[in-house]
Amino acid sequence: MPAIMIVDDAAFMRMMIRDNLKKEGFSEFIEAGNGEEAVELYRENHPGLVLLDITMPVKDGLTALKEIRDPQNGDPDAKVVMCSAMGQENMVIEAVRLGALDFIVKPFKPERLVQTVKNILG
């Protein structure tokens, strides 16, 4: 089963996501606390899926998404789902335009998170 990278500046949010996915049988996780770490870790590990927060210090999620999916220096086929408390329409549109496969608004129901991950990873 491919690794899932969880990117959020809040450690409790990363833990909650990881715990919910562990209950469903997912076992390999990579964690990052900001967008800059996410880009570096993606390039080193090529996880099967990235769950990426939008609002973070150092580098925000939309910028990280661009860099992760950059055709020149990244992986244009990277599977990324955006997670954010900011459920604003313009953020959703921008994330999808940049290649995000889905968008989960926090606080989210664990079932929604798990179903989204299962739909993408099979």
**pLDDT digit string, tens, across residues 86-119:** 666 688 788 889 999 999 888 888 999 999 999 9
pLDDT for residue 105 = 84
Output the pLDDT for position 86: 63
Strand blocks (E) in the chain = 4-7, 29-32, 49-53, 80-84, 102-105
Rounded to an integer, what distance in angstroms lies between the CA atom of residue 25 and that of residue 38?
Answer: 23
List beta partners, residue 75: none
Domain that holds residue 60: 4-121
Q: Specify the amino acid at residue 103.
A: F
Q: What share of the chain is helix, strand, coil (3-state, %, to 5)?
A: 45, 20, 40
Q: pLDDT, tens digit, for every residue of 16-71?
A: 999 999 999 999 999 999 999 999 999 999 999 999 999 888 999 999 999 999 99
pLDDT at residue 87 in the model: 61
Q: How many CB atoms lie within 10 A of CB 79?
A: 21
**Total domains, the chain:** 1
Q: What is the pLDDT of residue 84?
A: 82
The domain that contains 65 carries what CATH number? 3.40.50.2300
